[in-house]
Amino acid sequence: MSRLHTLVIPWLLACLIALCTIVPLGVVMLSALTPDPAIWSHLIEFTLPELFKNTAIMLLGVGAGVLLLGVSLAWLVAVYDFPGRRIFNWALMLPLAMPAYVMAFAQVGLLEFTGPVQTWLRPHFDTMRWFPEIRSSWGLVLVMSLAFYPYVYLLSRNAFATMGRRALEVGQSLGLSRSQGFWRIALPMARPWIAGGLILVVMESLADFGTVAVFNYDTFTSAIYKAWFALFSLDTAKQIASLLVMLVFVVLVLEQRSRGRRAYAQAGRAAPQPRLPLPGWRGWVATLAAGSALLLAFVIPMLQLVYWASLDFANQFSSDFLGYAWRSVSLSLIAAVLVTAIALVLAYLVRRQGSQAMRNLARVATMGYAIPGTVLAVGVFVPVAWLDNQIIAAMGWQGEVTAVLKGTLLAMLLAFVARFLAVAYSSVDTAMNRITRSHDEAARNLGYSGWALLRRVYLPLLSGGLFTGVLMVFVDVMKEMPITLMTRPFGWDTLSVRVYNMTAEGMWDQAALPAIAIVLVGLIPTILLSRQRDVA
Amino acid sequence: MSALLELQSVSQRYGDKAVVNDMSFTLQQGEIACLLGSSGCGKTTVLRCIAGFEPLAGGEIQLAGRRIASVASSVPAHLRQIGMVFQDYALFPHLNVQENVGFGLGKLGRSEREARVMAVLDVVGLAAYAQAFPHELSGGQQQRVALARALAPKPQLLLLDEPFSNLDVDLRERLSREVREILKSQGTTAILVTHDQHEAFAMADKVGVMHQGRLQQWAPPYELYHEPASRYVADFIGQGAFVPGKVTGPRCVTLELGEYCSAVPRQFADGDEVDVLLRPDDVVHDDASPVTAKVLGKVFRGSEFLYTLQLDSGQQVLAQVPSHHNHAIGEPIGIRLELDHLIAFRRQPA
């Protein structure tokens, strides 16, 4: 093998992969450097004040909501024993399977004026004026908190399970009561994990498109969509997208800062300790609390969906539905395999090369997970459109052809690579790290190298990680709404696009069946995750 | 002098399984005690009962004349004024050394608290590290921070759960001496739990040997070694081998190696079959001796050898021999019994 081969090819490959993220991000950020005064004066006057206000209310409200729900449920389940605890331990993660936009229209349908709750209450009251309007900022905060609390729950539960009871004991040995121990020791010690969960929630909220659409609540994502698809001003969309990216980076920097010098190596080396029993009525209060969270965040919206779907099942379960499902499944599968394959190549390159530069390149390539889908949709569309024009000009196709790559599956897949590479990469990389240097050396010693090494040693050992990667990306693409909506080829309506179109019209019952299909697929990784992370 | 801590028939069970059974002992003010036993013997559970982390299934515990725990009622752990050093130290990773040590001093004013923190850090020799975070310290330093944190509120009693088990052997010996000096200088009453008898002997005024949830013996280390109360303790503490003997007359026991004639415990009568514990230093190498034994194994320990010897009957004994007597395995050597204190138990049917 030539020197060129071993030196240049890996870097070329890695750079190509990283470009999938760098180009869309660069396109959007460059537009921030070349602001259009006309657009900006309009934005500043009419759009931005409301966007910032709405975003601030959403983030503060949802942040408070997920902290309250996530931390208290995690503490209850990790430290105490009460009737049903083992079930709640994993069941409280079920809302992860339900995309926020599904939760949103289910809850709105339940609680709006014509919904079952108000209909049931109406005969008992003179007026329903006192009933809060669900389509409001508090309704959005409620729905998003219910949809996103599992992130905080999952991370803080694991932290509490390893050090929660120990923290109480240390406190008691120093003269602190249990409640003082919770506030002064357990909570501060779990802070990095709680903060980690909170950051995920903030990112999800900033990136959310479908939920705010149901609530007709304008944030940056919906503003990007409207600028592009309602005002047909791609430039405005780009400018708003650049602001959203900056907001995301501010959050990331804040997260890094908040850790500071305090390195929290591990929550505790001690094995999980037996839980404190909650005897008598106190145990049942805990059961009631956890049970109502589960009912509100999963069971009731799910029942509502099933009810809607059953109303008109024969009609809805039609060839149209099967078409949406088929397109969703095939698209998700293609994207999952492609993204995981790219992740495998990247992880292998990082391992073989092992240099800091390659590691940094991988970090850049996987940065797309923090970038909202609406931004990536814009960021991918712009260069693809430019490329199309170059090709058309070069081939002399003017007038005959308007699009080559624009609006093709390929453009959409590029956006998915940027968005979900991190998901696949983390599971492949975790598996890769379990293969030791001596495995490598043993195989080399026995005469395998290059592709043979990858095929004979790595692939078999990585199969579990690759499967997880494919599964996670598959489910994520299935649930994904903005990229699919904004970059899909003509006629390529998937389940999530169908949900968007029906909820945009307020036809909740028509959106129910595709939504149920999405939730069922989402249940697979959620259950796997809960089994895997269950701390006995 | 009155007892600071008294356990009366304390029992504790997990489900149906008795973990601690009918445990009683008293500890005087200023004494350091050690609960010694192999893992799973219930020693840590006793400590946790005293701390107030586990309810009692039987008996009661008194601290300074006040009942702090019984089956019916118990003083909450945080009101007992009992400090604890945890096995994994459980230092707060988000606080620096000074804040960790000052954590239990919430009731004091700011200046008082700072003075106390610095005083305790001085005692454990870490005054220079007040601003450091736990992860920046070595294992031994973390251990001393944990000790300082537990000592700072001036607890009536200090509990240490396997305090040195996470450290390497050299450090363990040095720290156990240091910790004993610190505790003694502060007049602290303490109980530690360990499975390491060297650590127990180095640290403790009183040692309690535990086995299967029961206290086998509660005595000073010297007594434990030289007057073990049960076969288990004799076997567990130190090295040695049981050899069969027969009581001959009111003052003598005859063994294969020779005869011991001094004082025979009263419970034995003439003609009783007994097992006699021979420590390695009870068997002396003597070329002039008529009794010989074959070398089965040897361990070089620098100044001496520890030989495993086989007598003609096949019985094995241990002998501690100065290391200039270097004998090959298989070689017969002359030995003599030099027993100045008899430890014997009635022969158990095989």
* Other CB atoms within 10 Å distance of the CB of residue B2: 9
Query: How many whole angstroms separate alpha carbon B139 and alpha carbon A16?
Result: 46
* Other CB atoms within 10 Å distance of the CB of residue B25: 18
Give B328: exposed, middle or buried? Use CB within 10 Å, 0-12, 13-18, 19+.
Answer: exposed
Q: What is the 8-class DSSP label of residue B213?
A: T
- Distance in Å, alpha carbon of A173 to nearest chain B alpha carbon: 5
Determine the pLDDT at residue A339.
Answer: 95
Domain spanning B3-236: CATH superfamily: P-loop containing nucleotide triphosphate hydrolases (3.40.50.300)
What pLDDT digit, counting tens, does each position of A375-399 carry?
A: 999 999 989 988 888 888 888 887 7
What phi and psi, each to the nearest 5 degrees, are found at residue A101? Answer: -70, -25
What pLDDT digit, counting tens, does each position of A165-208 carry?
A: 788 888 888 888 888 888 888 888 888 888 888 988 999 999 99
Q: Which residues contact A414 (CB under 8 A, 6 or more apart)?
A: A20, A380, A384
Determine the pLDDT at residue A12.
Answer: 87
Determine the pLDDT at residue A212.
Answer: 93
Query: How many whole angstroms separate alpha carbon A421 and alpha carbon A473?
Result: 8
Interface predicted TM-score (ipTM) of this complex, two decimals: 0.71
The size of the A-B interface in CB pairs under 8 A is: 78
Could you give all domains of chain A from N- to C-terminal order, each with its CATH number?
1-34+312-504 (1.10.3720.10), 48-311 (1.10.3720.10)
Determine the pLDDT at residue B148.
Answer: 93
Q: Which residues contact A1 (CB under 8 A, 6 or more apart)?
A: A450
Residues β-bridged to residue B305: B300, B321
- Which long-range CB contacts under 8 A does B121-128 form with residues at least 24 apart? B121/B97, B121/B148, B123/B148, B123/B151, B123/B182, B123/B185, B123/B186, B124/B148, B124/B151, B124/B182, B126/B97
Angle at alpha carbon of residue B241, lines to B235 and B247, rounded to 5°: 100
Show pLDDT as tens, one digit a residue, over chain A (536 residues): 456 666 788 888 888 899 888 999 998 888 888 888 888 888 888 888 999 999 999 999 999 999 999 999 999 998 899 999 999 988 999 998 999 999 999 999 988 888 888 888 888 888 878 888 888 899 999 999 999 999 999 888 888 887 777 888 888 888 888 888 888 888 888 888 888 889 889 999 999 999 999 999 999 999 999 988 888 888 888 889 999 999 999 988 887 776 654 455 443 445 556 788 888 899 999 999 999 999 999 999 999 999 999 988 888 788 888 899 999 999 999 999 999 999 999 998 888 777 888 888 898 898 888 899 999 999 999 899 888 888 888 888 877 777 778 878 888 999 999 999 999 998 898 888 887 777 777 777 776 777 777 777 788 888 888 998 999 999 999 999 999 999 888 888 999 999 999 998 888 888 899 999 999 998 988 887 766 544 43
Return the residue matching tokens 């921070």: B145
8 Å CB contact of B149 and A188: no
Minimal-distance CA residue of chain B relative to A269: B88
Structure tokens at A424: 């696949």
From chain A residues 228-267, the ones with a CB under 8 A of any chain B CB are 261-265
Return the residue matching tokens 């929290």: A264
Structure tokens at A166: 């120990």
Amino acid in position A364: V
Structure tokens at B144: 């001393």
Is residue A177 less than 8 Å (CB to CB) from chain B? yes
Residues of chain A with Cβ-Cβ distance to B51 below 8 Å are 169, 172-173
Query: How many whole angstroms separate alpha carbon B350 and alpha carbon B347?
Result: 8
Whether the CB-CB separation of B57 and B12 falls below 8 Å is answered with yes
Whether the CB-CB separation of A368 and A376 falls below 8 Å is answered with yes
8 Å CB contact of A170 and B84: yes
Among the partner-chain residues B76, B83, B92, the one whose CB lies closest to the CB of A185 is: B92
Minimal-distance CA residue of chain B relative to A175: B78
Q: Domain coordinates of chain B in residue numbers?
A: 3-236, 241-346
Among the partner-chain residues A189, A261, A270, the one whose CB lies closest to the CB of B92 is: A189
Return the residue matching tokens 């219930």: B42
Q: What is the 8-class DSSP label of residue B146?
A: H
Structure tokens at B19: 């973990």
Whether the CB-CB separation of A148 and A101 falls below 8 Å is answered with no
Residues of chain B under the 50 pLDDT cut: none
Structure tokens at A170: 């240390």
Query: How many whole angstroms separate alpha carbon B315 and alpha carbon B299?
Result: 19
Give B173: exposed, middle or buried? Use CB within 10 Å, 0-12, 13-18, 19+.
Answer: middle
Angle at alpha carbon of residue A514, lines to A513 and A519, rounded to 5°: 95
Following DSSP, what letter does each residue of A483-532 receive, concatenated?
A: HHHHHPPTT---HHHHHHHHHHTT-HHHHHHHHHHHHHHHHHHHHHHHHH
Whether the CB-CB separation of A519 and A302 falls below 8 Å is answered with yes
Following DSSP, what letter does each residue of B242-293 receive, concatenated?
A: EEEEEEETTTEEEETTEEEES---TT--TT-EEEEEE-GGGEEE-TT-S-EE
Is residue A185 less than 8 Å (CB to CB) from chain B? yes
Residues of chain B with Cβ-Cβ distance to A264 below 8 Å are 93-94
CATH topology (fold) of B241-346: OB fold (Dihydrolipoamide Acetyltransferase, E2P) (2.40.50)
- Residue B304's region, left for phi above 0, alpha for psi from -120 to 50, else beta, is beta
8 Å CB contact of A166 and B82: no
Query: How many whole angstroms separate alpha carbon B113 and alpha carbon B295?
Result: 64
Q: What is the 8-class DSSP label of residue A535?
A: -
What pLDDT digit, counting tens, does each position of A241-273 carry?
A: 999 999 999 988 887 776 654 455 443 445 556
Residues from B in contact with A at Cβ < 8 Å? 51-53, 76-79, 81-84, 86-88, 90, 92-95, 103-104, 106-107, 133, 135, 149-150, 153, 159
